[in-house]
Structure 1
Amino acid sequence: MRLIGFAGWSGAGKTTLLARLIPVLVQRGHRVSTVKHAHHNFDVDKPGKDSHTHRTVGASEVLISSANRWALMHELRGTPEPDLPELLAHLSPVDLVLVEGFKRDHHPKIEIYRAEVGKTLLYTEDPYIVGVASDGPVPDCPLPVIDLDNVAALADFVDQHAAPIDSIVWRGPLDQSEG
Protein backbone atom coordinates (compact mmCIF):
# COMPACT_ATOMS: atom_id res chain seq x y z
CA MET A 1 0.00 0.00 0.00
CA ARG A 2 1.19 3.50 -0.83
CA LEU A 3 0.17 6.70 0.90
CA ILE A 4 0.09 10.41 0.21
CA GLY A 5 -1.53 13.16 2.23
CA PHE A 6 -3.40 16.33 1.35
CA ALA A 7 -2.81 19.23 3.71
CA GLY A 8 -4.16 22.73 3.71
CA TRP A 9 -6.06 25.26 5.71
CA SER A 10 -9.81 25.00 6.13
CA GLY A 11 -11.55 26.30 3.01
CA ALA A 12 -8.69 25.46 0.65
CA GLY A 13 -10.69 22.71 -1.06
CA LYS A 14 -9.12 19.47 0.12
CA THR A 15 -12.36 17.48 0.15
CA THR A 16 -13.50 18.96 -3.17
CA LEU A 17 -10.19 18.01 -4.76
CA LEU A 18 -10.34 14.45 -3.42
CA ALA A 19 -13.89 14.07 -4.72
CA ARG A 20 -12.55 14.88 -8.20
CA LEU A 21 -9.26 12.96 -7.86
CA ILE A 22 -10.52 9.63 -6.50
CA PRO A 23 -12.59 8.73 -9.60
CA VAL A 24 -9.58 9.42 -11.86
CA LEU A 25 -7.34 7.19 -9.75
CA VAL A 26 -10.00 4.46 -9.67
CA GLN A 27 -10.45 4.72 -13.45
CA ARG A 28 -6.68 4.18 -13.76
CA GLY A 29 -7.11 0.87 -11.95
CA HIS A 30 -6.15 1.85 -8.40
CA ARG A 31 -8.02 0.62 -5.37
CA VAL A 32 -8.23 3.72 -3.17
CA SER A 33 -9.05 4.27 0.50
CA THR A 34 -9.10 7.51 2.43
CA VAL A 35 -8.39 8.55 5.98
CA LYS A 36 -9.88 11.86 7.07
CA HIS A 37 -9.03 13.66 10.29
CA ALA A 38 -12.11 15.22 11.84
CA HIS A 39 -12.68 17.54 14.73
CA HIS A 40 -13.64 16.32 18.19
CA ASN A 41 -17.40 15.95 18.04
CA PHE A 42 -18.09 14.37 14.66
CA ASP A 43 -20.61 11.53 14.54
CA VAL A 44 -21.43 9.03 11.82
CA ASP A 45 -24.42 7.63 13.62
CA LYS A 46 -27.94 8.96 14.14
CA PRO A 47 -29.87 9.25 17.38
CA GLY A 48 -32.75 6.78 17.42
CA LYS A 49 -30.87 4.07 15.53
CA ASP A 50 -30.03 0.85 17.37
CA SER A 51 -26.30 1.31 16.74
CA HIS A 52 -26.42 4.79 18.27
CA THR A 53 -28.22 3.40 21.31
CA HIS A 54 -25.60 0.65 21.72
CA ARG A 55 -22.81 3.25 21.69
CA THR A 56 -24.46 5.74 23.99
CA VAL A 57 -25.20 3.11 26.64
CA GLY A 58 -21.56 2.05 26.79
CA ALA A 59 -20.50 -0.34 24.00
CA SER A 60 -16.83 0.14 23.14
CA GLU A 61 -17.32 -0.93 19.54
CA VAL A 62 -20.39 -1.26 17.38
CA LEU A 63 -20.18 -3.05 14.04
CA ILE A 64 -23.07 -2.55 11.64
CA SER A 65 -23.45 -4.81 8.63
CA SER A 66 -25.79 -4.99 5.66
CA ALA A 67 -25.75 -6.43 2.15
CA ASN A 68 -24.20 -3.15 0.89
CA ARG A 69 -21.60 -2.19 3.52
CA TRP A 70 -20.31 -2.63 7.01
CA ALA A 71 -19.02 -0.03 9.42
CA LEU A 72 -17.16 -0.29 12.70
CA MET A 73 -17.47 2.52 15.23
CA HIS A 74 -15.00 2.58 18.08
CA GLU A 75 -15.54 4.81 21.09
CA LEU A 76 -12.33 6.11 22.66
CA ARG A 77 -14.00 6.74 26.04
CA GLY A 78 -11.20 9.02 27.21
CA THR A 79 -8.27 7.09 25.78
CA PRO A 80 -5.85 9.05 23.56
CA GLU A 81 -6.71 9.58 19.91
CA PRO A 82 -4.93 6.94 17.81
CA ASP A 83 -2.11 8.12 15.60
CA LEU A 84 -2.13 7.73 11.84
CA PRO A 85 -0.11 4.46 11.71
CA GLU A 86 -2.55 2.85 14.17
CA LEU A 87 -5.51 3.97 12.07
CA LEU A 88 -3.89 2.69 8.86
CA ALA A 89 -3.57 -0.76 10.46
CA HIS A 90 -7.38 -0.98 10.45
CA LEU A 91 -7.64 -0.55 6.66
CA SER A 92 -7.98 -3.42 4.24
CA PRO A 93 -5.17 -3.58 1.68
CA VAL A 94 -5.51 -1.18 -1.27
CA ASP A 95 -3.16 0.40 -3.78
CA LEU A 96 -3.40 4.00 -2.53
CA VAL A 97 -4.38 5.60 0.75
CA LEU A 98 -5.20 9.30 0.51
CA VAL A 99 -4.96 11.11 3.83
CA GLU A 100 -6.88 14.33 4.38
CA GLY A 101 -5.63 16.27 7.36
CA PHE A 102 -2.96 14.96 9.73
CA LYS A 103 -0.94 17.89 8.39
CA ARG A 104 1.64 17.68 11.19
CA ASP A 105 2.51 14.02 10.58
CA HIS A 106 5.61 12.72 8.81
CA HIS A 107 4.36 11.42 5.48
CA PRO A 108 4.52 12.80 1.95
CA LYS A 109 1.85 15.45 1.39
CA ILE A 110 0.52 17.71 -1.31
CA GLU A 111 -0.41 21.13 -0.01
CA ILE A 112 -3.72 22.53 -1.25
CA TYR A 113 -3.32 26.28 -1.47
CA ARG A 114 -5.68 29.08 -2.44
CA ALA A 115 -4.44 32.64 -1.91
CA GLU A 116 -8.04 33.79 -1.31
CA VAL A 117 -8.14 31.77 1.95
CA GLY A 118 -5.64 34.29 3.32
CA LYS A 119 -3.37 31.85 5.14
CA THR A 120 0.35 31.23 4.88
CA LEU A 121 1.80 28.40 2.85
CA LEU A 122 2.45 25.25 4.89
CA TYR A 123 5.39 23.92 2.86
CA THR A 124 7.74 26.50 4.39
CA GLU A 125 7.34 24.78 7.77
CA ASP A 126 6.80 21.17 6.64
CA PRO A 127 9.61 19.26 4.91
CA TYR A 128 7.17 16.43 4.09
CA ILE A 129 5.22 18.52 1.59
CA VAL A 130 6.37 17.33 -1.85
CA GLY A 131 4.26 19.62 -4.03
CA VAL A 132 1.65 22.37 -3.99
CA ALA A 133 -1.70 22.21 -5.78
CA SER A 134 -2.97 25.75 -6.32
CA ASP A 135 -5.54 27.69 -8.29
CA GLY A 136 -2.92 30.30 -9.16
CA PRO A 137 0.81 30.97 -9.21
CA VAL A 138 2.84 30.36 -6.06
CA PRO A 139 5.77 32.81 -6.33
CA ASP A 140 9.21 31.62 -5.25
CA CYS A 141 7.98 28.08 -4.50
CA PRO A 142 10.85 25.58 -4.88
CA LEU A 143 8.40 22.66 -5.08
CA PRO A 144 6.39 21.50 -8.09
CA VAL A 145 3.17 23.52 -8.39
CA ILE A 146 0.22 21.70 -9.96
CA ASP A 147 -2.93 23.39 -11.23
CA LEU A 148 -5.85 22.43 -8.96
CA ASP A 149 -8.06 22.14 -12.04
CA ASN A 150 -5.73 19.69 -13.79
CA VAL A 151 -6.90 16.50 -12.09
CA ALA A 152 -5.01 14.26 -14.52
CA ALA A 153 -1.72 16.01 -13.65
CA LEU A 154 -2.54 15.68 -9.95
CA ALA A 155 -3.22 11.95 -10.41
CA ASP A 156 0.16 11.62 -12.15
CA PHE A 157 1.81 13.46 -9.25
CA VAL A 158 0.10 11.16 -6.72
CA ASP A 159 1.33 8.11 -8.65
CA GLN A 160 4.88 9.49 -8.65
CA HIS A 161 5.04 10.63 -5.00
CA ALA A 162 2.89 8.28 -2.93
CA ALA A 163 5.22 6.35 -0.63
CA PRO A 164 4.95 2.71 0.41
CA ILE A 165 3.48 2.75 3.90
CA ASP A 166 6.18 0.45 5.23
CA SER A 167 8.87 2.92 4.08
CA ILE A 168 7.48 5.89 6.04
CA VAL A 169 9.30 6.73 9.27
CA TRP A 170 6.46 7.47 11.70
CA ARG A 171 8.26 9.62 14.22
CA GLY A 172 5.20 11.42 15.49
CA PRO A 173 3.72 14.81 14.78
CA LEU A 174 5.84 17.75 13.73
CA ASP A 175 6.11 20.34 16.43
CA GLN A 176 6.04 24.03 15.67
CA SER A 177 9.81 24.39 15.92
CA GLU A 178 10.63 21.85 13.19
CA GLY A 179 11.26 23.13 9.68
Structure 2
Amino acid sequence: MMTRALTLFVAATLLAGCVHTAQKQDAQPGIGSASYRTAEGTGLAHYKLAIGQIAMGATLEVHEPPVYPASVLARCPPQIELPARVIVGTQGNVDEVRMNAPDTQQPFAESVRAAVQHWRYTPLTITRWAADADGTSHPVDSEARPFSLDYVFTFHCEHGRTSVSSGPDATAR
Protein backbone atom coordinates (compact mmCIF):
# COMPACT_ATOMS: atom_id res chain seq x y z
CA MET A 1 0.00 0.00 0.00
CA MET A 2 2.84 2.35 0.86
CA THR A 3 4.51 1.69 -2.49
CA ARG A 4 1.35 2.54 -4.36
CA ALA A 5 0.88 5.78 -2.38
CA LEU A 6 4.51 6.70 -3.01
CA THR A 7 4.11 5.99 -6.74
CA LEU A 8 0.98 8.15 -6.92
CA PHE A 9 2.73 10.95 -5.02
CA VAL A 10 5.75 10.87 -7.37
CA ALA A 11 3.49 10.81 -10.45
CA ALA A 12 1.43 13.72 -9.13
CA THR A 13 4.59 15.68 -8.35
CA LEU A 14 5.97 15.08 -11.84
CA LEU A 15 2.70 16.09 -13.45
CA ALA A 16 2.53 19.22 -11.30
CA GLY A 17 6.09 20.04 -12.35
CA CYS A 18 5.06 19.75 -15.99
CA VAL A 19 2.21 22.17 -15.46
CA HIS A 20 4.54 24.76 -13.91
CA THR A 21 7.29 24.41 -16.51
CA ALA A 22 5.00 24.44 -19.53
CA GLN A 23 5.02 27.86 -21.13
CA LYS A 24 1.90 29.35 -22.51
CA GLN A 25 2.39 29.98 -26.18
CA ASP A 26 1.26 33.39 -27.34
CA ALA A 27 -1.21 33.50 -30.17
CA GLN A 28 0.61 33.66 -33.46
CA PRO A 29 0.42 37.06 -35.09
CA GLY A 30 -1.71 37.20 -38.16
CA ILE A 31 -0.47 37.09 -41.70
CA GLY A 32 -1.30 40.32 -43.47
CA SER A 33 -1.54 41.31 -47.09
CA ALA A 34 -2.21 44.58 -48.87
CA SER A 35 -3.45 45.26 -52.37
CA TYR A 36 -4.97 48.11 -54.32
CA ARG A 37 -7.22 48.83 -57.28
CA THR A 38 -8.36 51.95 -59.07
CA ALA A 39 -11.65 53.25 -57.80
CA GLU A 40 -14.51 53.43 -60.25
CA GLY A 41 -17.19 56.09 -60.55
CA THR A 42 -15.33 58.72 -58.53
CA GLY A 43 -16.69 61.66 -60.48
CA LEU A 44 -13.24 63.16 -61.05
CA ALA A 45 -13.14 66.04 -63.49
CA HIS A 46 -11.18 65.41 -66.67
CA TYR A 47 -9.25 67.84 -68.80
CA LYS A 48 -11.32 69.06 -71.72
CA LEU A 49 -9.33 68.65 -74.91
CA ALA A 50 -9.72 70.98 -77.86
CA ILE A 51 -9.80 69.77 -81.44
CA GLY A 52 -6.31 68.68 -82.37
CA GLN A 53 -5.19 67.95 -78.78
CA ILE A 54 -4.30 64.54 -77.42
CA ALA A 55 -3.44 63.47 -73.89
CA MET A 56 -0.78 60.84 -73.22
CA GLY A 57 0.87 59.47 -70.13
CA ALA A 58 -0.49 59.31 -66.59
CA THR A 59 0.63 55.69 -66.53
CA LEU A 60 1.79 54.12 -63.28
CA GLU A 61 5.38 52.91 -63.75
CA VAL A 62 6.82 52.33 -60.26
CA HIS A 63 4.35 51.00 -57.71
CA GLU A 64 4.96 48.79 -54.72
CA PRO A 65 1.86 48.03 -52.65
CA PRO A 66 1.73 49.18 -49.04
CA VAL A 67 3.03 46.89 -46.33
CA TYR A 68 0.57 45.49 -43.80
CA PRO A 69 1.32 47.40 -40.55
CA ALA A 70 3.21 45.13 -38.17
CA SER A 71 1.77 47.01 -35.18
CA VAL A 72 -1.72 45.57 -35.82
CA LEU A 73 -0.82 42.01 -36.89
CA ALA A 74 -1.24 40.63 -33.37
CA ARG A 75 -4.87 41.72 -33.16
CA CYS A 76 -5.53 40.86 -36.83
CA PRO A 77 -8.54 43.15 -37.46
CA PRO A 78 -11.18 42.37 -40.09
CA GLN A 79 -10.49 43.38 -43.69
CA ILE A 80 -10.08 47.12 -44.18
CA GLU A 81 -10.72 49.04 -47.38
CA LEU A 82 -9.22 52.49 -47.42
CA PRO A 83 -10.00 54.89 -50.29
CA ALA A 84 -7.30 57.40 -51.25
CA ARG A 85 -6.82 60.10 -53.86
CA VAL A 86 -3.31 60.31 -55.30
CA ILE A 87 -2.30 63.77 -56.57
CA VAL A 88 0.48 63.61 -59.19
CA GLY A 89 2.57 66.58 -60.28
CA THR A 90 3.78 67.57 -63.75
CA GLN A 91 6.98 65.49 -63.40
CA GLY A 92 5.06 62.27 -62.60
CA ASN A 93 5.92 62.29 -58.89
CA VAL A 94 3.28 61.91 -56.19
CA ASP A 95 2.73 65.30 -54.57
CA GLU A 96 0.02 64.32 -52.09
CA VAL A 97 -2.08 61.41 -50.85
CA ARG A 98 -5.53 62.34 -49.51
CA MET A 99 -7.45 60.02 -47.18
CA ASN A 100 -10.18 60.34 -44.58
CA ALA A 101 -9.18 57.49 -42.29
CA PRO A 102 -10.63 57.14 -38.77
CA ASP A 103 -8.18 56.90 -35.86
CA THR A 104 -8.46 53.10 -35.81
CA GLN A 105 -7.16 52.97 -39.39
CA GLN A 106 -4.21 55.36 -38.96
CA PRO A 107 -1.54 52.61 -39.15
CA PHE A 108 -3.02 51.58 -42.51
CA ALA A 109 -3.17 55.19 -43.73
CA GLU A 110 0.49 55.68 -42.77
CA SER A 111 1.41 52.52 -44.68
CA VAL A 112 -0.45 53.77 -47.77
CA ARG A 113 1.26 57.18 -47.61
CA ALA A 114 4.70 55.63 -47.13
CA ALA A 115 4.29 53.36 -50.18
CA VAL A 116 2.48 55.75 -52.52
CA GLN A 117 4.98 58.59 -51.97
CA HIS A 118 7.47 56.40 -53.89
CA TRP A 119 5.16 55.69 -56.83
CA ARG A 120 6.13 57.19 -60.19
CA TYR A 121 3.95 57.91 -63.22
CA THR A 122 4.72 58.95 -66.75
CA PRO A 123 3.75 62.61 -66.81
CA LEU A 124 0.38 63.53 -68.27
CA THR A 125 1.18 65.45 -71.43
CA ILE A 126 -1.33 67.32 -73.56
CA THR A 127 -0.04 67.90 -77.07
CA ARG A 128 -1.63 70.10 -79.74
CA TRP A 129 -1.25 68.83 -83.27
CA ALA A 130 -1.73 70.66 -86.56
CA ALA A 131 -1.49 69.74 -90.21
CA ASP A 132 0.79 71.35 -92.82
CA ALA A 133 -0.52 72.56 -96.15
CA ASP A 134 0.28 69.12 -97.57
CA GLY A 135 -1.73 67.38 -94.80
CA THR A 136 1.22 66.13 -92.72
CA SER A 137 0.46 66.27 -88.98
CA HIS A 138 3.05 67.49 -86.48
CA PRO A 139 3.02 68.57 -82.84
CA VAL A 140 2.71 72.30 -82.33
CA ASP A 141 3.17 72.47 -78.56
CA SER A 142 3.08 70.20 -75.54
CA GLU A 143 2.43 70.78 -71.85
CA ALA A 144 2.69 68.52 -68.80
CA ARG A 145 -0.25 68.78 -66.41
CA PRO A 146 -0.93 67.54 -62.88
CA PHE A 147 -3.61 64.90 -62.39
CA SER A 148 -5.21 62.78 -59.70
CA LEU A 149 -6.38 59.19 -59.48
CA ASP A 150 -8.52 57.45 -56.88
CA TYR A 151 -7.57 54.05 -55.46
CA VAL A 152 -8.98 51.63 -52.90
CA PHE A 153 -6.36 49.96 -50.71
CA THR A 154 -7.38 46.64 -49.14
CA PHE A 155 -5.69 45.20 -46.05
CA HIS A 156 -6.47 41.60 -45.15
CA CYS A 157 -5.24 39.56 -42.18
CA GLU A 158 -5.66 35.91 -41.20
CA HIS A 159 -4.47 34.30 -37.99
CA GLY A 160 -1.64 31.88 -38.59
CA ARG A 161 -2.59 30.71 -42.08
CA THR A 162 -2.99 31.96 -45.58
CA SER A 163 -5.89 31.21 -47.84
CA VAL A 164 -6.42 31.11 -51.55
CA SER A 165 -9.82 31.52 -53.13
CA SER A 166 -10.67 30.30 -56.59
CA GLY A 167 -13.65 29.37 -58.65
CA PRO A 168 -16.75 31.27 -59.68
CA ASP A 169 -17.51 32.59 -56.18
CA ALA A 170 -13.97 33.74 -55.43
CA THR A 171 -13.31 37.38 -54.71
CA ALA A 172 -10.00 39.10 -55.20
CA ARG A 173 -8.30 40.27 -52.05
TM category, shorter: under 0.3
Q: Greater strand share, 1 or 2? A: 2
TM-score calculated relative to the size of structure 1? 0.19
Larger-gyration structure (1/2):
2
TM-score calculated relative to the size of structure 2? 0.20
